[in-house]
Amino acid sequence: MSINRTSVYLDYNATAPLRPEAREALLRALESPANPSSVHAAGRAARDVVERARAQVGALVGVPAGSVTFVSGGTEANALAIDSAKAAGVQRIIISAVEHDAVVETAKVSGLPVEILPVDSNGVADLAWLAQALETPGKALVCLMLANNETGVIQPVAEASALVRAHESWLHVDAVQAAGKIAIDFSGLGADTMALSAHKLGGPQGVGALVAGTRAAVTRRQHGGGQERGRRAGTENVAGIAAFGAAALAAPEGLASLAEQGHWRDALAFRLKAEGAVVLGEGAQRLPQTLCFAGEGFGSEVQVMNLDLAGVMVSAGSACSSGKVKASRVVEAMGRSDLAPYALRVSGGWASTEADWIKCGDAWLAAWKRIGARRREVA
């Protein structure tokens, strides 16, 4: 882990530090450069690297290697899924109100009608609404993420799948945040397509995958040499893919210890709530290493800056907005627009320690008290 250990890094939902196994695989692949489409010995060796990683990523979610298409990351995987569903004849798109911008923005420009699946106060999808919406004639693409990137709330994907399949529609699952943090069974969830990203689970940035089930036909997104079984042209990112595979292989071994972070998360939540903070999504099942909370009147950007000065790195909501800090759309969808400008996300991962979570709490509470003291002075 390259981050200075005098600092605390609790922003794994933005990017996880590179796992040692992934680093080793990355460097090993870089030392043997070759095009996996070449037929000579070096090319065949590179092809073996790619196909071994494909099997490792498939195993992470319980699918055969042939179900995995490598892409540049979660954003492209989501876009490829939406494009493929459109090519397969879906007539409308239903997206949950808490989907990542990668899904929201791609749906908006798809040219298809877009409906918003509401969530409850904990951020959980309203399946009764979905059931009614699916009664409308016309095959639908339903996009429901497995775990929310801001709150960590886990969605009832398998239950949604039963509804979607009963209406002969298509279910796409953005599992970018869930992969490597909880066990995933693609078939058990009933997904048709699923997006994954290497850098969220300890692989490098710039590589991801779209997993497709037997009911889904993946369309060609970019044209050229016919790589990735004709689904995505362009020479594969061999080193990145090798590291992705290594991270996918290592991640399940740490799930039990990662689950223990739920205790550290809850201990921090207890401290914060005692001082007036509001924990978001706590009434739902969540990723064990994700905590989203808000201190009313304490702006998200100010919180991030104060913690950073104290050596603690966290995020204000999603970290995929080109460095911008804005009111959380997810929190607004949960009916807490009053707290949306103040939401903060703390997310641990494979190298986090209990001391990290404690230091984060110490730093936030100290800043919270300073803000309170200033308010009293002004009053």
Lowest mean pLDDT among 25-34, 57-66, 348-357: 25-34
The SS3 of residue 120 is: coil
Does 1 score more than 50 pLDDT? no
CA distance 180 to 18: 13
CA atoms within 13 A on the CB side of 25: 28
CA distance 149 to 154: 10
Does 2 score more than 60 pLDDT? no
In this prediction, residue 147 has a pLDDT band, given cuts at 50, 70 and 90, of very high
CA distance 86 to 106: 11
Q: What is the dihedral of CA 223, 169, 193, 283, to 10 degrees?
A: 140
CA distance 173 to 125: 13
> Which residue type does 230 have?
G
Does 32 score more than 50 pLDDT? yes
Helix intervals (H) in 31-72: 41-61
The residue annotated as part of the active site, out of 143, 292, 320, 360, is: 320
Nearest to 343 by CA among 371, 306, 312, 316: 316
Residue-level pLDDT at 371: 80
Segment 338-358 mean pLDDT? 97
Does 379 score more than 50 pLDDT? no
The length of the chain in residues reads 379
pLDDT in tens, 72-114: 999 999 999 999 999 999 999 999 999 999 999 999 999 999 9
pLDDT in tens, 167-177: 999 999 999 99
Nearest to 55 by CA among 245, 283, 295, 308: 245
Computed over its alpha carbons, how large is the radius of gyration of the chain? 21
pLDDT in tens, 213-272: 999 999 987 788 888 887 887 889 999 999 999 999 999 999 999 999 999 999 999 999
Does 333 score more than 80 pLDDT? yes
Lowest mean pLDDT among 73-82, 282-291, 316-325: 316-325
* DSSP 8-state code for residue 221: -
| Mean pLDDT of the chain, nearest integer | 93
The two structure tokens encoding residue 331? 């929190």
CA distance 61 to 244: 13
Does 325 score more than 60 pLDDT? no
Segment 332-355 mean pLDDT? 96
Nearest to 316 by CA among 268, 280, 350: 280
Segment 44-68 mean pLDDT? 96
CA distance 144 to 360: 31
Nearest to 287 by CA among 193, 146, 191: 146
CA distance 281 to 206: 30
The two structure tokens encoding residue 248? 């996918």
The two structure tokens encoding residue 333? 């969808």
pLDDT in tens, 156-199: 999 999 999 999 999 999 999 999 999 999 999 999 999 999 99
Residue-level pLDDT at 6: 76
Q: Which fold has domain 20-252?
A: Aspartate Aminotransferase; domain 2 (3.40.640)
Residue-level pLDDT at 327: 81
Q: Does domain 8-17+255-378 sit in CATH 3.40.50.2300?
A: no
CA atoms within 13 A on the CB side of 378: 6
Residue-level pLDDT at 322: 43
Residue-level pLDDT at 98: 98
Q: Cβ distance 206 to 238 under 8 Å?
A: no
Break the chain into its structural domains and give their ranges. 8-17+255-378, 20-252
Residue-level pLDDT at 3: 55
Phi (first) and psi of residue 11, to 5 degrees: -135, 40
- 320 has catalytic annotation: yes
Does 373 score more than 70 pLDDT? no
In this prediction, residue 377 has a pLDDT band, given cuts at 50, 70 and 90, of low
Across the chain, where does the E strand assignment appear?
8-9, 68-71, 92-96, 114-117, 140-143, 170-174, 193-197, 208-212, 278-279, 290-294, 312-313, 343-347
